[in-house]
Structure formats: C-alpha cells, structure tokens
Structure 1
Amino acid sequence: MSLKGEHLKDEGTRLEVTAAGATAGLIARFVTAPLDVVKIRLQLQTHSLSDPLSHRNLQGGPIYKGTLPTICHILRHEGLAGLWKGNVPAELLYVCYGAVQFTAYRSTTLFLHSAFGEGALPQSAESFIAGAVGGGIATVATYPLDLLRTRFAAQGNDRVYTGLWRAVCQISREEGLRGFFRGLAPGLAQIVPYMGFFFAAYETLRPPLSGLELPFSSGGAVAGTMASVLAKTGTFPLDLVRKRIQVQGPTRGRYVHKNIPEYYGGTIGAVRTILRMEGLRGLYRGLTVSLLKAAPTSAVTMWTYERALSFYSGLGNRLRERREDSL
C-alpha cells in the first residue's frame, strides 16, 4: 500500500468517504445517546447540591449530581425512553454531520495538496486546517438539527415539543429562521479549534499506536479517544455556552430546568453572566460526563469509519470490476 493510502484523509472516493462518515455518525450516536442526554441536562443546570438552599430558584426543576445518579433520576422519573430523548434529530445530526465533516476534511486536504504540494505543510498543520474547515462547514450545515437535539433532550415529562415536525413549525413561527441558529457563534468558536486539534492529534497519534492489538479496536480507535479527550477539555466552556443559548427564547422556562437565566450580549455576555452567577466551575458543568462520552464516541466513530470505508471501498471496487467485465 502506498503512503498516501495509509492516511485517513486520502482514502476512498468522495462517495465512499461520505457513506463511511454517515455510517460512523449513526452508530456512534446510538451507542452514546444516554450520555449525551445526561451531559445536556448537567450543562443546563445552574445550581449544584452544594449551593445554599436560599439561592435556589428551581421552580420545581431537579438538581442532578454526577453521571450515574442523573441516569438513575431520569430512569426513575422519565423511563428508559428518557435517556434517548432527542434521538431522532440527533441521529439525523450525526449522520449528516459525519458525512459533511469527513467529506470536507478530505476535500480540504486534497485542495492543500494541489495548492502547496503534497508534503509541503507539516502533518500537524495540514490536519489542523483540514479538521477545522471540516468541523466548521459541518457545524453550519447541520446546526438546526443540533439545536433541536438540545431542546428535546432538555425537556422533561412536560413536553415542550410533541414531535420533530411540530418543533420545526413552532420554532419557525415563534422565533423565525434565526431561532434555528441560536448559539451558532460559540458553536463555531468551539468546533473549529476542537476539530482542528482533534484531527491534528489523531493523525499524530495514529502511526505510533497503529501496532497495538486490542479487542474490537486498532490504533485508530485509541488515537481517536486520546485526541478527543484532549480537544474536548480545552473547548468545553464554549460548548456549555452554546447549549445555554440554544434553549433561550419563548420556551426557556418550560424545560426540565425551569430556572435557566436569560443571557444578553451574545457569547461574551453569556460567559460573563455564568462567571458572575456560578463562578468558574459553572463553565465546566458536565465536563466529567462529556469526557466519558468523548472517549467512546470518538473510538466508535473512528473504528466504525475505518471499517465502513474499507467495506465501501471494497464494494466499490467489486462494482467497478463487474462493470468493466460487462463492457
């Protein structure tokens, strides 16, 4: 195999890369959906058990403490289905995001090769640029689905939206087109460095880890896990701010956390409000479960992507061979 074929970003045709990315996103989302719901609930929570009772204005909302207790609370009060709230828009999000992300990543890499020459840029710089562009394009293209995922995961038994289509119609009617893009600024500010660092770390870590023999895994899965944990920790506050802004609007007081503050001044204004009301720890609510989620999500994504790409590439080769034989 040539050196070019050994790198994730150069393998497969555009269609094969798109299909592999979509498959990886679909499977990764389903496996980690409960952790995603827990993460969103913790990120939207403005109080903790250590806060004085006199400072709580919960209006009947719960206080979650830790990953496992939150899972138990959701199971007890909302049933098993509560851990998969928002799964339909989330599945659509992960499929579309994975397809767009990997396609844009590959296209950006090929563009850099044609513009500067293959090997002209350092491997880490090339991967950072391609990852940042891919993550940014995928975020903008799929952002309404991300907002819908957050809002469905944030609602308790008192349902704000009764279905995906009704949610789209309600947001469109009450908030207009801008309502679907609440929090896009911190989303882009978070995802561009996150995906840039992720792919740079992934491409750097994969070669030395490629010789590891692990069950259900390869160097790609281990490298994906390590890269995701490193990138997630550095950009987590922006992810939290994005979630808080996504649930702003006329339905803000109807989610499971009924005391979510109203934020003004965009991303910077939201950060200042959180720091003033909750302190620095307020920007890191849900970090633990986010890291717990990041590891299996990235491992499943990269493991599935590599095998799906191999499958689709093999299928494509067989179809091309049959077409050539029939001519």
Structure 2
Amino acid sequence: MSLKGDRLKDEGSRLQVTAAGATAGLIARFVIAPLDVVKIRLQLQTHSLSDPLSHRDLRGGPIYKGTLPTLRHILRSEGLPGLWKGNVPAELLYICYSAVQFTTYRTTTQLLRAAFHDDDNPNRSALPQSAESFIAGAIGGGTATATTYPLDLLRTRFAAQGNDRVYPGLTLAIRQIAHDEGIRGFFRGLGPGLAQIIPYMGLFFAAYETLRPHLSELDLPYSSGGAVAGTMASVMAKTGTFPLDLVRKRIQVQGPTRGRYVHKNIPEYVGGTVGAVRTIWRVEGVRGLYRGLTVSLMKAAPASAVTMWTYERALGFYMGLGEKREERL
C-alpha cells in the first residue's frame, strides 16, 4: 500500500484522528438526514403494498411507496422539519460513533501491526491487507455501535414519530424510557446491530482500503479516489447486511410505545433476532427483509463519500494546526 493509502490509519495523533472522525460524522449526518428518516419509515412499514387486505390493520397509519413519494408525503403531512426528525440524537450519534470508530480502527491496526509485524518492514503487518482492514474495521464498528447504541435507539424512535409525538423532547424521552423500560430499554436490538455492523464495517474497510489506492491513481472528474472508494465499499457492504439492519429497527420500537408511532401496526416480535427474522419472513416474505434497501443505498453512498472525504481533509487540517503549533514552540 502506498504511503498515501496508509494515511487513514497511520498519520495523525489520537486526538487529531478523533476530532477528524467527529467532524466527518457531524457533516455527513446533516447531509443525509432526510434519506435516513425515509429509510426508517419504510423499514417500519410491515404491510404489503400489493395486498389490499393487509391494509385493514393500519389504524390510520400512512402508506409509503418508494423514496420520492415518501419524501413528498412527509413534507406534505409534517412539513420540512419532518425530514430532520431525530436529528439531535442522530448528530450526537454520528459524532460519537465516528470518533470512536476511527480511533478504534487506527488503534487496532497499530496493535495488529505490532503483533504480526513484517520483519522486513516493521511498519507493515504480515497479515494480508484485506484481513488487517477487515479485523480493524469490524472491531471499530462493533465498539462504536455498542458504545453509542442508546443514541441510535433514540434516533430511530424520534424518526418513527408522526404528527402525534410520542416523546416531546430528548431529555423527556430518556427519562420515559428509563422509567418504563429500564436500562435494557436503551439497548433493544443491540444483538442484530452488532451482528450487522461487524461484518458491514469489516467488509467496508476491506473494500475501501483495497479500492482506494487504485482509484486515487485515476484522474476522476469532480471527485476524489477516497470518495468513490467509500461509495463503492458502502454499497457492497450495505447490501450484504441489510436484513439485520431492518430487524434492528423493528426491535428498537418495541416496548410500551410500539403502537404510537406513525406506523401503528408494528407487530410484537418474540424470540430475539432469530424470532423477528422468522416472523418477517413468514408474514412479509423475503421482500419484507429488504424494505427500504433502495433508499438505504441512496443514503449509504453519499454518507460514506462525505464521511471519508471530510475525514481525510479534516485530519489534514488538524495535523496542519499541530505542525504550526510545534513550529511556534
């Protein structure tokens, strides 16, 4: 791997990497917030659009069909702010998640290179590049998911609200969940979340680190090699792990408020992740496990591209500040 390709993992202090990751998460979240709300609404929609009989239990809930019609429906019924529902916990989630993810990824890579160092090049691991990136990406994603999961649950619940607000505000939501569901309520769906994110981030970073050096050598118009590599890696990883993401969303809105969201007919799932998958498969078919995949891919591509593009430039900016500070000293 070229020196340029190693920058993501090797350059910058831990504080600079953390700050760059947080900056990337903050900007990426704001850009893709409307698509995130649409994705969650589609994922929570349990009825089949092709079966009129399945509409009998909607209890006043909306019927969404496709990305653009869902965007128009939310704008018409809830206004422009409806597309940024859950943005406060989501911004906190993306900032904390990105900071933990990139820091853990960098630290894990350094540990792997120390444990499996190449005798001919102490700065390089004897592990294959793809294996090193997969392990570091999986550990980084898993650590970030477990650390920030309560914010992810809050983001989902706020995005699932219609005009009838389940939670008036973030502080009251935290208090209500703690009172009604206990600490475990903040971690509903963590199992499928970890089962999804570990292979997702492993595949993402493995693909990203493999594609980036080659794409960086190309003269791409209006884009950088890192942005294109991030987009391609995200699409490949997201498609492979999407059913677990859908199951996580369905489990996150379980509990005493289940019937009060914009979709009022969300079933009660028993048996954990496996039970939820079986129920969705039996009632909604294979397509039920991929509701919202199109908008998820639409969201994943710009989100990853913006995240990686911003991260690289933010890291360069913070490293430049550090160099200037050292020069003054």
When normalised by structure 2's length, the TM-score is 0.96
Q: 1:217 to 1:29 in 2, by over 3 A?
A: same
Equivalent residue runs for 1:234-245 within 5 Å = 234-245=240-251
> Over residues 117-161 of structure 1, what are the superposed CA-to-partner deviations in whole Å (9 max), with x where a residue is unaligned?
123000000000000000000000000000000000000000000
Does 1:205 find its partner at 2:211?
yes
Summarize the Cα distance change of 1:214–1:123 in structure 2 as closer, same or farther, 3 Å threshold. same
Deviation sequence 1:182-223 (CA, Å, 0-9, x none): 000000000000000000000000011002334553100000
Between 206-215 and 101-110, report the one with greater CA deviation. Answer: 206-215
Q: CA shift at 1:322, angstroms?
A: 1.1
Alignment of 1:210-229 (within 5 A): 210-214=216-220, 217-229=223-235
Alignment RMSD (CA, Å): 1.4
Equivalence map 1:30-69=2 (5 Å) = 30-53=30-53, 56-69=56-69
Is 1:33–1:84's contact at 8 Å kept on the other side of the alignment?
yes
Residue 156 of structure 1 aligns to a residue in which SS? coil
Farther-moved stretch of structure 1 (177-186 vs 40-49)? 40-49
Match of 2:264 among 258, 262, 277: 258
Percent of matched pairs sharing the same residue: 82
In structure 2, stretches of 5+ residues that fail to align are 118-123
Greater shift, 207-216 or 314-323, is seen at: 207-216
Q: Decide whether aligned partners of structure 1 residues 277 and 54 sit closer, same or farther in structure 2, where only a CA change above 3 A counts.
A: closer
Equivalent of 1:304 in 310, 313, 329: 310
Decide whether the 8 Å contact of 2:112 with 2:125 is kept in 1.
no
**Residue type at the aligned position of 1:39:** K
Q: C-alpha distance in 2, partners of 1:157/1:48?
A: 23
Offset at 1:54? 5.3
User: Offset of 1:56 from its aligned partner?
Assistant: 3.2
In the alignment, which residue of structure 1 is the partner of 2:200? 194
Between the aligned partners of 2:3 and 2:298, the Cα distance in structure 1 is 34
Alignment of 1:104 with 2:110, yes or no, is: no
SS of corresponding position for 1:56: helix
Distance, in Å, in 1 between the alignment partners of 2:320 and 2:115 is: 30
Count matched residues.
323
Instruction: Provide TM-score, normalisation by structure 1.
Output: 0.96
Aligned residue type for 2:256? P
Q: Find the counterpart in structure 1 of residue 20 from structure 2.
A: 20
Aligned partners of 2:16 and 2:7: how far apart in 1?
15
Q: Which residue of 2 aligns with 1:275?
A: 281
The amino acid of 1:86's aligned partner reads G
Moved runs in structure 1, 4+ residues, more than 4 A?
Answer: none
Describe the shift of the 1:87–1:54 C-alpha distance in structure 2 as closer, same or farther (beyond 3 A). closer
Does residue 83 of the first structure (1) align with residue 89 of the second (2)? no
Unaligned runs of 5+ in 1: none
Letter in 1 for 2:31: V
1:170 equivalenced with 2:176 (yes/no): yes
Partners of 1:164 and 1:217 in 2: CA distance: 37
Distance 1:83 1:66 in 2: 15
Structure 1 residue 55 displacement after superposition = 5.3
Aligned mates of 2:87, 2:33 — CA distance in 1: 7
